[in-house]
Structure 1
Amino acid sequence: MKSLRIAAHAAGVLLLMGLAGSAAADASVIDNQALADDTDGTNWAAYGRTFDEQHYSPLTQINTDNVGRLGLAWSLDLDDVWNVSTVPIEVDGVLYVAAGFSVIHAIDVRSGKLLWKYDPKVRDKMRMAWGIRGMTYWNGKVYAGAQDGRLFALDAHTGALVWETLTTEPGDNRYITGAPRAFNGKIIIGHGGADFGHVRGYVTAYDAETGRQDWRFWLVPGNPADGFENKAMEMAAKTWKGQWWKYGGGGTAWNAITYDPKYNRIYIGAGNGGPWNAKLRSPGGGDNLFLCSIVAVDADTGEYVWHYQTTPDESWDFTSTMDITLATIAIDGKPRDVILHAPKNGFFYVIDRATGKLISAEKLGKVTWAKYVDKKTGRPVEVPGARYEDGEALIWPGSAGMHNWPPMSYSPATGLTYIPVHEMAGYYNDAGRDPKTWTMSTGDVMGVNGFNEDVPANAGSSSLLAWNPVTQKKAWSTPTPGANNGGTMATAGNLVFQGQADGQLVAHDAKTGAALWHYDMGVGTMASPISYEVDGKQYVTIPAGWAGGQMLLGSLSAQHGWVGRDHPRRILTFVLDGQVKLPPSPPPSRPTPLADADFHVDPVLAKKGEALYGRSCVICHGVAVVAGGYAPDLRASAIPLSSAAFTSVVRDGGLVTRGMPPFAELSDDDLLALQHYIRQRARYQPTTWDKISNAWHFITLMLKMKLKAWFG
């Protein structure tokens, strides 16, 4: 009997081993070969689907002829996270979504059921209300960054932690919000932080199996007295003046990183300067490499190959951290390997991948800071006055950019790039700052006067733009609601999908822009859709929920009526002939400021409170105390009316469980000042840009800049 039990046990083990082997044999291998295959649309295993970052699906089951039959297959509400402004990935019928503070959710595509969830426990450490924009898959593991600077790998089947490593330094201002990329058995990640002081940007490549650091490339030079990490940094230092290293310099690569298998290179999209103000950062000028550049490095060693700088000596937050898309297009009748790039500064660039040389650059819309980009030099020809030489300037676009992080997509079938663009002016003012005496401080990190007024609802507009990179001309465009909308996805079914701020998911004809189908998601979004195939069916998935950068902008953000704690954060998945009904969502709403006739505002205290609010509260509660949709609108909250309640929540952490971090450093006087500022703003009435005072001031500024441009 004992021998039979042993034999039976052995047979069972062999059976399990056989089943495991069979399952392993059926599992997709996600490696260089898979991520370089543009023709197989079964999986969406990386941020941009494949190495080329085109956000394009070659699937055709859903197309212009039948998209009207698209219906909901399932939805999943995520009640314990606040931000779903992210791009999911999918492999072998499992959807992976990074929501909130890098909480990874694995969801069965067939049923919509949650399989596992991994929480890296970031929420208690961070105060900034940003989430993670995506993740990647490699060799059976899911990789994501955490806002506190960690990079971690999870077993894709169980959600168990395989390894994690801190990519930043403890206590510094760096953080991660971007998606890592996988290539050659490595995982690469950058970081943000240039807007928060004393940060010098870099990207780091790690071994995908162990998390061991392989190489690191710095994007701006450090103190020359300490020596340079490589010849590239020595070269870059010659383009800086003064003592820039005291401020960090900036150059953070927080989003766009693209691997090119043909040339075995990594293209890095570098960010803005730290501080923004070039007069303070690098007195005396200089291009300040590699700010606002695409930098090509060897994928195996991290050694510099070439760079192209979109905005030399940048002074406006014109990052080049937007999509770096690879394509082969006809230039002068011959196929050419190119990069397609639409950074914040408003131009669309076509760059030679082999050499880094500019092929062409044209304005996507209203651009007033530069006349054009000189094709011979590759440099923008700036408009005098745009650098706020006289202390202030109004230019288009502003620091939000004409194109921000929500991904654009490129369709090889149509040859068009689909860009979520928005047009909004930027006002820059550095009055009172002398390069000889200025020092970076907590209240003055960017070197410009902060914009503390509410942003009117009609201050910006947006559209979905189809752009031909060969002719550098618009193919078509269609208006979109508000000023911020989601990223795009193109498909071989001749469709372009985009989630909108008004809560609609729309499918457009990729050739004409005609809206062929739309679906009410119950809440707006800035996330991007993906498409993949399971059991012979093509699916489309999009996260929906109102959070991300748009929640900062006061009335501009609040105009759609989404309130983060009232409206859902959800994952929606569609399939042809889907019949599932979406759970109801509350209608859009707007807060009503509380009347408080007995509270007498002290203007001096309110002014102090304004500065404190800008440092500690604005990211969640919105500019000028006009909430954009995530955190409660403090004008309508009773808590600031009570000193005891306000102290309990703000300083003592009374609402930590609801996402409100404690600010233990605030004194009683600080809290009182904040109360007075909040009550002052509660009596504010929203305006629009057509008010005479605003219009006259802006027109005057523009006339001054145009006169300078015309007559020098």
Structure 2
Amino acid sequence: MGRTLRFTAAAAITALAAAALQSAATPRPQASKDAARLADASGGDDWAAFGRTFGEQHYSPLADINDRNVSQLGLAWSLDLPFGNSVTAPLAVDGTLYFARGYSVVQAVDAATGRELWTYDPKAPEAAGHKLRQGWGSRGIAYWNGKIYTGAHDGRLIAIDAKTGKPVWSTMTVDKDDVRFISGPPRVFDGKVIIGHGGADVGSIRGYVSTYDAETGKLLWRFHTVPGNPADGFENKAMEMAAKTWAGEWWKYGGGGTVWNAMTYDAGTDTILIGVGNGAPWNRKVRSLDQGDNLFLSSIVALDARTGAYKWHYQTNPGETWDYNAAMDMELADLTIGGARRQVLMTAPKNGFFYVIDRTNGKLISAEPFVKVTWASKIDLATGRPVENPASRYPKGTTFTMWPGPVGAHTWLPMAFSPKAGLVYIPAIEMATSYNDDGITQPTWKRTPGSAVDGAANPNFVVKDAGPLNATSALIAWNPVTQKQAWKVPTPGFWNGGIMASAGNLVFQGQIDGAFNAYEAGSGKRLWSFAAQAPVTAPPITYRAGGRQYVTVLTGMGTSGAAFGPLIERYGIDYRTQARRVLTFAIGGKGVLPKAEKAVITASDDPTYKADKASADAGIEIYGRRCAVCHGVYAIAAGIAPDLRQSPVPTDAEAFNAVVRGGALVPNGMPRFEELTDAEMLHLRQYIRSEAAALRTRK
């Protein structure tokens, strides 16, 4: 009897285990539906991920709106948004539109009408502490099994019920008091959600990605992108291998390698591909004794999606030293190259080369420059390595002018690939920067305090005939098979909007001057334009709701380019008055936006101001370290934060102290700098007031 009971119990346990395995192997109906809608071959009624599908092509197979009727496209509805970042990529699922604004404030509206359904505010600025000193808000969100996923600036990954807007779970993905923060969109795959972080520009941190159970928020696996202190042991063989490519005591500098943006899922091989960022600090001479490739900086790394185990990598910039990275979107496609069908990954990172890589093994297929490049003459196809210009590493105190500069030939704003046209559409930037590291040595260098950007190098953006005021941008159509430009359309200013392509033979892109355009995919001919009355840099999407195809895009500045106010001053983009909106278009739409006046930046009245050059000069350095990244060079703002020349706050010492040291405007995204001394506050305030006085004189 006892033996029978024991046998029965064992059999029951075996049966339960088998059932559990069967359950795990058979996706739930809803999960299967989500996986189907995220497949690259899905129908297109929904836009359920940052790039629409797992392959991140930013392409829709919908063609109800096409090159023959796009001239009839009109505004179906619009929704005004409050202050804050508004360049997120929206999602559209089952007739509901979801988007993030500000600091990961997620909102849901009816996709056909714009009727507001719910809003969830994670109160990220209040929770962020010093993390608030970098970054400007969310770039995107994710959807899976009835939940919206958002990464909050303070480092939380949050799951929200898509029907009610109520939080389901929340988990902290970083240390509470480090400088890591989240601005990029999470990605979902096979019941999991993955997130990275930023912060390597300002702190001694070690990058990683974390993958969680999408239903519970339980951590499943974590992969570090650079090795830590060998004395602590290595997490895996990949880190042991990577450590051989570093020198000195790199771990004391953190190493960097944050995955702050690009992640792509290859469902066919169950592989997650991550785009790894720059070194911490930028300068390899400081970080790694000027030695080694420093894996996995500036690399595309393929990981087993179930376990996080390393599969392969391809490094775009061995020994990265210029804030180049491989963090721009990576798009999957099947292309016929040399008569053979190849499964490829395509990416156009900061360094100016367009790469086509075999996504099954990481082998380089081709790479050619799509903009002006001076740091390397070519990419050697035999080795996969760049043939560098030796001067580009600014040896022995020399200065080198680099094309492209650290802003990059392509930023986070995504490109798009049209399988129908066979072309990739790149929002390209051409701007140079000169580099040297005069006065910086490895043994004595220390990070600038206050969470300021400090790469242990001296980049100069104001390069004669090549710097910001001469910077250009363009929408480039690129043939990934021939590695040649198909067509090019110049775009205004240096900043460029995200791209969306469709089977309607169309390419959509917004511009910094407020135009939202549709181009013929094969020729680049502009077929339609809408005056949005505000910068349009966010990635557009298209979807169906109630059987009708719509195109949606957000307007307003946010998340990047804040320091470069002088470059876009002529467009009159004001933080206080710019129109932040959700715009949705349909064939036959008759909506009209209210007339907007062009913003004019005027300096605030300051009757007690007296010039003090010595004090203002002392304030320039403080401003450059702590303020320029948001409020702009020379206090000329780019619309992401207020232009301090017209603010009344610096004219009053008490109000200035309450905001800067006291944190009175933290909920608005203004960080607190409690460490500034009375003397530093005096000089900082004097510098800002001097720039306002100069503006009054010019006017």
TM-score where L is the length of structure 1: 0.89
Q: Counterparts of 1:579-658 in structure 2 under 5 Å?
A: 579-592=590-603, 599-603=610-614, 605-656=615-666, 658=668
> 2:282 — aligned with what?
276
Question: What amino acid is aligned across from residue 419 of structure 2 in structure 1?
Answer: P
Q: 2:85 aligns with which of 83, 86, 108?
A: 83
The alignment partner of 1:552 has SS state of coil
The alignment status of 1:447 with 2:456, answered yes or no, reads yes
Equivalent in 310, 321, 336 of residue 342 of structure 2: 336
Aligned to 1:355: 361
Q: Closer, same or farther in 2 for the Cα pair 1:173/1:653, shift >3 Å?
A: closer
Q: Which residue of 2 aligns with 1:396?
A: 403
Q: Distance in 1 between matches of 2:603 and 2:65?
A: 44
Q: Deviations over 1:524-574 (max 9, x none)?
A: 022010000112211000001122312221211323111121112110000
In structure 1, what residue type is equivalent to 2:456? G
Question: Offset at 1:486?
Answer: 1.0
CA-to-aligned-CA distance 1:633-670 (integer Å, 9 cap, x gap): 22333432333332233223444565434432222111
Post-superposition offset of 1:587:
1.7
Match of 2:4 in 1: none
Write out aligned runs for 1:146-225 (5 A): 146-225=152-231
Which residue of the other structure, out of 289, 295, 298, is the alignment partner of 2:301? Answer: 295
C-alpha distance in 2 between matches for 1:553 and 1:213: 39
In the alignment, is residue 515 of structure 1 matched against residue 526 of structure 2? yes
Aligned residue for 1:73? Answer: 76
Give the equivalent residue in structure 2 for 1:22. none
When residues 394 and 594 of structure 1 are mapped into structure 2, their CA distance, relative to the original with a 3 A threshold, is farther
Task: Using the TM superposition, give the Cα deviation of residue 450 of structure 1 relative to its aligned residue in structure 2, in angstroms.
Answer: 5.8
Q: Is the 8 A contact 2:602 2:695 kept in 1?
A: no
Map 1:193-272 → 2, pairs under 5 A = 193-272=199-278
Name which of 25, 29, 34 aligns with 1:31.
Answer: 34
Matched with 2:678 is 668
- Partner in structure 1 of residue 418 of structure 2: 411
Pairing of 1:115-126 with structure 2 (within 5 A): 115-124=117-126, 125=128, 126=132
Q: Is the 8 A contact 1:96 1:105 kept in 2?
A: yes
Q: Which runs of 5+ in 2 are unaligned?
A: 1-27
Alignment partner of 1:428 is 2:438: no
Please list, as runs of the form range in 1=range in 2, the aligned pairs for 1:569-580 lying within 5 A after superposition: 569-580=580-591
- Contact kept, 8 Å, 1:594 with 1:635, in 2: the verdict is no
Provide the C-alpha distance between the structure 2 equivalents of 1:28 and 1:226, rounded to a whole number of angstroms: 40
Aligned to 1:438, what secondary structure does the other structure show?
Answer: coil
SS in 2 for 1:615: helix
2-side partners of 1:409 and 1:260: how far apart? 17
CA distance in 1, matches of 2:503, 2:548: 15
The one-letter code sitting in structure 1 at the alignment partner of 2:320 is E
1:92 partnered with 2:94: yes
Whether the 8 Å contact between 1:565 and 1:630 is mirrored in structure 2 is no
* Contact 1:566–1:586 (Cα < 8 Å) also in 2: no
Inter-CA distance 685–103: structure 2 relative to 1 (3 Å threshold): closer
| Counterpart selection for 1:49 from 52, 66, 72 | 52
Paired residue type of 1:47: F
Q: Post-superposition shift, 1:683?
A: 5.7
Question: Is contact 1:601–1:679 with CA below 8 Å preserved after alignment?
Answer: no
Q: Which runs of 5+ in 1 are unaligned?
A: 1-24, 687-712
1:145 is matched with which residue: 141, 146, 151? 151
Instruction: Name the CA distance, whole Å, in 2 between partners of 1:270 and 1:145.
Output: 18
**3-state DSSP of counterpart to 2:393:** coil
Pairwise CA distance, 1:129: 4.9
CA distance in 1, matches of 2:529, 2:691: 38
Moved more, 454-463 or 376-385: 454-463
Residues of 2 paired with 1:277 and 1:255: CA distance?
22
Summarize the Cα distance change of 1:191–1:600 in structure 2 as closer, same or farther, 3 Å threshold: same
Please give the secondary structure, in 2, of the residue aligned with 1:290: coil
Counterpart Cα distance in 1 of 2:667 and 2:382? 57
Give the 5 Å matches for 1:559-578.
Answer: 559-578=570-589
The 5-angstrom pairing of residues 491-530 of structure 1 reads 491-530=502-541
1:348-401 deviation digits (Å, cap 9, x = unpaired): 000001110000000001000100000001010111211111432211000010
Aligned 8 A contact 2:125 2:668 in 1? no
Matches within 5 A, 1:4-19: none
Q: For residues 151-194 of structure 1, what are the alpha-carbon distances to aligned partners after superposition, in whole Å with 9 as ceiling and x for unaligned?
A: 01011100111001000011011111111111111001111111
* More divergent stretch after superposition (626-635 vs 640-649): 640-649
What CA distance in whole angstroms lies between the structure 2 residues aligned with 1:421 and 1:356? 25
Per-residue CA distance 1:485-544 (angstroms, 9 max, x = gap): 210000000000001101011000000000000001110022010000112211000001
Q: Distance in 1 between matches of 2:476 and 2:462?
A: 30
Is the contact between residue 434 and residue 459 of structure 2 (CA under 8 Å) also seen in structure 1?
no
Take 1:668 and 1:261, find their aligned partners in 2: how far apart are those partners? 57
Distance 2:235 2:442 in 1: 28
Q: Which moved more, 1:499-508 or 1:640-649?
A: 640-649
The 1-side partners of 2:415 and 2:694 are apart by 37
Q: 1:453 to 1:626 in 2, by over 3 A?
A: farther
1:451 CA drift (Å) = 4.8
Identity %: 53
SS at match of 1:559: helix
Mapped to 2, the partners of 1:453 and 1:644 lie a distance apart of: 35
Deviation at 1:612? Answer: 1.6
Distance 1:370-1:595 versus aligned 2 partners, 3 A rule: farther
Q: Distance in 2 between matches of 1:641 and 1:103?
A: 32
Partner Cα separation in structure 1 for residue 219 and residue 372 of structure 2: 43
Summarize the Cα distance change of 1:250–1:655 in structure 2 as closer, same or farther, 3 Å threshold. closer
Please, what TM-score do these two structures have when normalized by structure 2?
A: 0.91
Hey, what's the Cα distance between the residues in 2 that align with 1:92 and 1:638?
A: 47
Deviates most, 85-94 or 127-136:
127-136
> May I ask how many residue pairs the two structures share in their alignment?
660
Q: Distance in 1 between matches of 2:253 and 2:69?
A: 56
Aligned equivalents of 1:598 and 1:570: distance in 2?
38
Select between 233-242 and 387-396 the one with higher mean Cα deviation. 387-396
Partners in 2 of 1:342 and 1:660 — Cα distance?
33
Determine helix, strand or coil for the equivalent of 1:365: coil
- Contact map agreement 1:546 1:563 (CA 8 A) in 2: no
Change (3 A) 1:200 1:64: same
Deviations 1:587-625 (A, max 9, x none): 24333476879512232x333322221232112211221
Partner Cα separation in structure 1 for residue 480 and residue 541 of structure 2 = 23
Residues 617, 439 of structure 1: alpha-carbon distance in 2 compared, 3 angstrom cutoff: closer
Contact 1:558 1:629 in 2 (8 A): no
Q: Distance in 1 between matches of 2:299 and 2:319?
A: 11
The amino acid across from 1:67 in the alignment is V
Q: CA deviation at 1:453?
A: 6.9
**What is the aligned counterpart of 2:557 among 520, 532, 546?**
546
